Amino acid sequence: MENKRKPYQLVSREWKKENTVIQLKNTSIGDGTLSVIAGPCAVENEDQIFTICEFLNKHQVKILRGGAYKPRTSPYSFQGLKKDGLILMRNAADKYGMNVITEVMDTNLVEEVAQYADILQVGTRNMQNYQLLRALSKIDKPVMLKRGMSSTMEEWLLAAEYILSGGNYKVIMCERGIRTFENATRNTLDLSIVPLLKSVSHLPVIVDPSQGTGVRELVLPMSLASVASGADGIMVEVHNQPEEALSDGAQSLYFDQFGELMGRLKTVAPVFGKSLDLESEKILS
């Protein structure tokens, strides 16, 4: 008889029926709450990251994002503050009891990044860097695997399989848009993959509408659409001065836009069976 087994195993629902839940400090991903991950594209300086972190904490965001090692298309663009960025971000997050997610670009940086981050992000350009995936399979920290911009779902799941098969089961999938002929948006956010992914895999799914659209005005509607698609959370870029941002300013939300987004999520999430992980209603009411 023909073997209809999928090429991936450990990431599949056939292997494990229950949703994988990623436990963090004060929160978890994939437990039925809607996780909101927010912060600047890149850590730029102390004032910037502390200002943004303080603002996000007021909105009860529990996971701070920010790049310290930045994969930039041009070698002349800002490459990130590197280790100094990791330290600044860790200090800002610790001040407010938040978790840190940041990108690890290279195998030889896994140890350093894991020392400061609560979740290690694999960027779209590295989804098929198998050496990196193998190195991440040996650490005891969650990994968020962004979809390769030209990758199929199967390739993406097989990349995740590298991490699980090496012994790290704490993997989060992140849809961040794929390359298509459409150039009016930076990428084409493939939200149809979310319910499909959730049906074939037990891993939590986050959507990044910031890289997914490249346009800050599109972040709110696509965040709401992400919730409707069944995502376990969203990751958005927010900046205190988007026009001064050293990377991805055009897709970074202003503070008031982020406030509006949180208000809308609070209304919309319950409609789709998710609650926002908020201790009190005082900030958003």
Residues that bind ligand PEP (CB under 6 A): 41, 67, 71, 123-124, 146, 176, 211
Q: Which does 40 bind (CB under 5 to 8 A by kind): Mn ion, ligand PEP, none?
A: none
Answer for the pair 216, 199: CB distance below 8 angstroms, yes or no: no
19 Cβ contact list (under 8 Å, min separation 6): 30, 31, 202, 204
Task: Output the smallest distance, CB 146 to ligand PEP, in A.
Answer: 4
Binding site for Mn ion (CB under 5 A): 41, 248
In terms of CB distance, is 12 or 142 closer to ligand PEP? 142
Q: Which does 123 bind (CB under 5 to 8 A by kind): ligand PEP, Mn ion, none?
A: ligand PEP
Can you tell me the distance from the alpha carbon of 88 to that of 242, in angstroms, rounded to the nearest whole number? 19
Which single residue brings its beta carbon nearest to ligand PEP?
A: 123
Q: Which does 209 bind (CB under 5 to 8 A by kind): Mn ion, ligand PEP, none?
A: none
In terms of CB distance, is 123 or 142 closer to ligand PEP? 123
90 Cβ contact list (under 8 Å, min separation 6): 100, 116, 117
Task: Output the smallest distance, CB 210 to Mn ion, in A.
Answer: 6
Phi, psi of 211 (to 5 degrees): -65, -30
In terms of CB distance, is 161 or 237 closer to ligand PEP? 237
Task: Output the smallest distance, CB 30 to ligand PEP, in A.
Answer: 19
Task: Output the smallest distance, CB 14 to ligand PEP, in A.
Answer: 28
DSSP per-residue letters across 114-132: HHH-SEEEEPGGGTT-HHH
Q: Which does 10 bind (CB under 5 to 8 A by kind): Mn ion, ligand PEP, none?
A: none
Q: Which does 27 bind (CB under 5 to 8 A by kind): ligand PEP, Mn ion, none?
A: none
- Cα distances from 49 to residues 68, 90, 93, 165, 174, in angstroms, run 11, 10, 9, 36, 23
Q: For 244, which DSSP code?
A: G
- In the numeric block, the tokens 């990758």 are attached to 151
Q: Which does 230 bind (CB under 5 to 8 A by kind): ligand PEP, Mn ion, none?
A: none
Task: Output the smallest distance, CB 130 to ligand PEP, in A.
Answer: 17
Can you tell me the distance from the alpha carbon of 88 to that of 44, in angstroms, rounded to the nearest whole number? 9
In terms of CB distance, is 139 or 236 closer to Mn ion? 236
Task: Output the smallest distance, CB 123 to ligand PEP, in A.
Answer: 3
Beta strands 63-65 and 99-103 are parallel
